[in-house]
Amino acid sequence: MQPSQFRILYRVFLMRVVDLELLSKDGDPARLLGQLAALLAGISLTFSLPLLLIGRVTPEMAAVAEHSLLALNMVVIGLLSVLSWDAIFPDRRDAMVLSPLPVAPRTIFLAKAAALTYAICLSFIALNIFTGLFWASCFSTSDSLLGAVRAIAVYWVSNALAAAFVFTAVIAFQGAISQLLPRQIFLRLSAPLQMGAFCLILGIYILEPSLESTALLSAPVNQSLLAFLPSYWFYALFQQLNGAPSPVYAPLAARAGAALAIALGTAAVTLAISFLRSLRKIAEQPEVLPLNWPAKRSFPASHSLPGAVALFCLRTLLRSAQHRLVVSSYLGGGMAIVLVYVRAIFFQQHVGRAAAWSRPGTALIIPSLLMLSVAIAALRVVAALPVALRANWIFRVTEVHPPEAYLVAVRRAFLLLGALPVYVVSAVVFLALWPARFALEHLVVLALLGCLLTEFCLPGFHKLPFTCSYLPGSGNLQYVFWVVVLLVLPFIGTVARFELRMLSNPAGFAAIVAALSILLLLARKRTAVVLRPVSRMLFDEVEPHQILSLNLNQP
Amino acid sequence: MLELCGVCKRYASIPAVENVTFTARPGEVTGYLGANGSGKSTTMKIVTGLIAANSGEVLFEGRPVSLDWLAFKRRMGYVPEEPHLYTHLTGLEYLTMVAQLRALPAKPSAERIDGLLHLLALHGDRDLSISSYSKGMRQKVLLIAALLHNPDLILLDEPFSGLDVGSSLVLRSLIQELASRGKVILFSSHELETVQRICSHVVILHRAHVVADDSIERLQSLMSLSSLEDIFSQLAVEQDSTAVSRQIADLIQA
């Protein structure tokens, strides 16, 4: 292996670990990773603040905190591994570009592995930078300094092993399926699998019950559940390494070791096979092929500009891995928050659960509002990312309509692909669970809100989705995350409570519908006003001027 | 009639095209020639509206196209130099999308696409992703997309690129046939033999400037040269090709 080849490839692959949407300006991977590390360190500080405020913790609190931090590490590293789904295994681009060059597959593999491992390790350290010091020192079984040092060391080791397990398990899962299935079928299934893994990791994190005490861990009734909850395996490993005397931890800790060994081994074998055997095969075979549905001929029902735009958007979302990934991330995040809201109903006793589902309440209103907002926001964000930028000339030379016609087409595409799927699912859920009147009233409100949110996305978006160039770094993820957590979620909660109050009487419902209708009309008017000076659609995003003239030389 | 009057395009202070003026008439194929980087594709892009000229004007049928770009684009077909396509779509999906974008009526355009796919031997591959197409197949998709709406002005930038012999012969005849039906055709190519065969009028560009604009016969008689290749070599080629090739061979063996 040539060190220079490794260094160059390492840098290239590091750029590809996290998606383009997150890239900092100038595509600088150091800045990108810095942003990510800052975000994770912020989460670490947030988790440490309660401890800094209360000072000391009881052993029971410490046990819950240790398990929570282990689970947090596993979910964050798991999600990052799923987001870097395409970063570790060789793809067509690697095969086409690197195969003709005198670069050994081993070098490509090592560079990819090093880039991904670096990003994951950095994330892990950032996520534990405060908790790994403040909380870890509280997990000591003795009051001595040596005990605290040991607890900190054990904390880092057990959390690192837990993170390594999740990371390698994701690679092993992907690698095993990629080797078992023909490549084209794997590529077709890759996006649903990625989204499934995303939801599974989040779902386990949010829905797993609290079983930290030795009594609960040893209870026979919990053993089948514990077999599927890896965070408790590594929690037991932590307790064992930390010198906890209870024998209840031994079998779970052994399971953690075995699971880590299996995940590591499978990941290593599948990676080796992929790089040594599959690289040439990838170059020979085409990528995802469109499905040959019998009904495809009749699919483009509307032979119009909105039809063309909607179909182009749909096909891009279905077939472009990068765009699917961004949408999956948004929807997965939304689903996680939805699970938090419906978790309370899940854990109710059987008798109470049926009543809780059928009683109109915010536990279902908030998820529907949230998913509607997330779906529209995801589509708005992903629509700004171009697919095959250099192919957009066809939209330019066929720009035979005025901008207003394109606005109508984009609005319809956003409504069809962003709002409608959530709306249909919500309609099924609400009509099945709630009394008809409440369900219909909420669906009317949801429809108006969908139109309103779509309208909010349109001013300034004088583009056709997926066709305009994109300036990276404008996502500002590190700020957006905190804005969503601190402002958007409480706001949605307030809106849901307000809506519930208004739905309980006809006058309130009429008032809310009237208010939303007026808002929608005003929003549409604003969109039209903003569009008025635009004479042509935008295909090249321009950098905002860095230097503003103050015109001081003017009289 | 397509007229370019004093068209200039500069990148920073470097001229891509400088004071380009010529006319392409209906019923004739206008060959647009020049070495790499001479400004041919830039001119084509200015005419299509893909890039804006710094100065000068493009007129179609006597009217500046900038007055009504939408109307002009409805009557223009364009085959670009590079076959950049949305490769996640199939050939049929791409062409249907182009028809939809141009607001062509559904049934006739579907029949037209089907017919053109048959005639260009692409029908069997219409449901395959464009990512699996060869360069020649992509070129055929571009050609169909450019002709789908029966344009009055056809801009062809290296249209023979990647085509097999059979398809090249069809395209050569097609260009002449379309010209005979009154279309305005501006045709850019490096294949001088093809240009000599199908073009009645050539414009030669050298270092961003038009250095010749006349019929091939007149240029031959004026310059006392027998072929278009000789004319082009004299006007637009500055280097001794034999000497350069010898230097290249020497360099890679050194």
Q: What is the pLDDT of residues A363-388, one digit of tens each?
A: 889 999 999 999 999 999 899 888 88
Give the amino acid at B181: R
A88 within 8 A of A128, measured Cβ to Cβ = no
The average confidence (pLDDT) of chain A is 83
**pLDDT tens column, B190-220:** 888 888 889 989 999 988 899 889 888 888 8
Residue-level pLDDT at A299: 47
Which residue of A311, A393, A401 is in closest CB contact with B84?
A393
The average confidence (pLDDT) of chain B is 90
A66 within 8 A of A211, measured Cβ to Cβ = no
The alpha helices in A84-104, defined as continuous H runs, are 92-98
- Residues from chain A that touch B109, judged by Cβ atoms under 8 A, are 303
* Contact B150/A at CB under 8 A: no
Place B138 in a pLDDT band, splitting at 50, 70 and 90: very high
Average pLDDT over residues A261-282: 83
pLDDT value at A214 more than 60: yes
* Contact A297/B at CB under 8 A: no
Residue-level pLDDT at A348: 64
pLDDT value at B150 more than 70: yes
Residue-level pLDDT at A248: 86
* Contact B52/A at CB under 8 A: no
Distance CA(A465)–CA(A454), nearest Å, equals 14
Residue-level pLDDT at A253: 92
Give the amino acid at A317: L
**pLDDT tens column, A223-260:** 888 888 999 999 999 989 988 878 888 899 999 999 99
Question: Does A399 contact B73 at a Cβ distance shorter than 8 Å?
Answer: yes
* Contact A295/B at CB under 8 A: no
Distance CA(A244)–CA(A254), nearest Å, equals 15
* Contact A93/B at CB under 8 A: no
- The strand pair at B209-215 and B55-60 is best described as unpaired
**pLDDT tens column, B53-72:** 999 999 999 999 999 888 99
Question: Does B73 contact A398 at a Cβ distance shorter than 8 Å?
Answer: yes
DSSP assignment letter at B130: G
Distance CA(B244)–CA(A347), nearest Å, equals 81
pLDDT value at A218 more than 80: yes
A249 within 8 A of A239, measured Cβ to Cβ = yes
Most confident option among A137-151, A276-290, B89-103 = B89-103
Distance CA(A316)–CA(A392), nearest Å, equals 13
Question: Per DSSP, which regions of A116-194 are E strands?
Answer: none
Question: Does A316 contact B127 at a Cβ distance shorter than 8 Å?
Answer: no
φ, ψ (nearest 5 deg) of residue B4: -110, 125
pLDDT value at A301 more than 80: no
* Structure-model confidence comparison of residues A543 and B120, the more confident one: B120
- HSE, side-chain direction, 13 A CA sphere, residue A505: 5
* ipTM (interface pTM): 0.86
* Contact A108/B at CB under 8 A: no
| Lowest-pLDDT choice from A138-142, A345-349, B71-75, B159-163 | A345-349
* Contact A396/B at CB under 8 A: yes
* Contact B80/A at CB under 8 A: yes
* Contact A319/B at CB under 8 A: yes
Average pLDDT over residues A181-206: 82
* Contact A312/B at CB under 8 A: yes
Average pLDDT over residues A330-348: 77
- With CA atoms as reference, the chain A residue closest to B91 would be A290
Question: Does B69 contact A401 at a Cβ distance shorter than 8 Å?
Answer: no
Question: Does A391 contact B85 at a Cβ distance shorter than 8 Å?
Answer: yes
- Residues from chain B that touch A296, judged by Cβ atoms under 8 A, are 127
* Structure-model confidence comparison of residues A88 and A292, the more confident one: A88
pTM of the model: 0.78
Place A138 in a pLDDT band, splitting at 50, 70 and 90: confident
* Structure-model confidence comparison of residues A5 and B67, the more confident one: B67
Question: Per DSSP, which regions of B179-220 are E strands?
Answer: 184-188, 201-206, 209-215
> Which of B67, B87, B97 is the best residue to mutate to test the A interface, defined by the most A CB atoms within 10 Å of its own CB?
B97
Which residue of A387, A391, A400 is in closest CB contact with B70?
A400
Average pLDDT over residues A505-519: 93
Residue-level pLDDT at A82: 87
| Lowest-pLDDT choice from A189-203, A213-227, A466-480 | A466-480
- Residues from chain B that touch A316, judged by Cβ atoms under 8 A, are 86, 88
pLDDT value at B100 more than 50: yes
Chain centroid offset of residue A25 CA:
21
Question: Does A395 contact B90 at a Cβ distance shorter than 8 Å?
Answer: no
Question: Does A315 contact B132 at a Cβ distance shorter than 8 Å?
Answer: no
* Contact B99/A at CB under 8 A: yes
| Lowest-pLDDT choice from A51-60, A501-510, A541-550 | A541-550
Question: What are the CA-CA distances from residue A422 to residues A203, A246, A311, A428, B191 (Å)?
Answer: 19, 48, 18, 10, 56
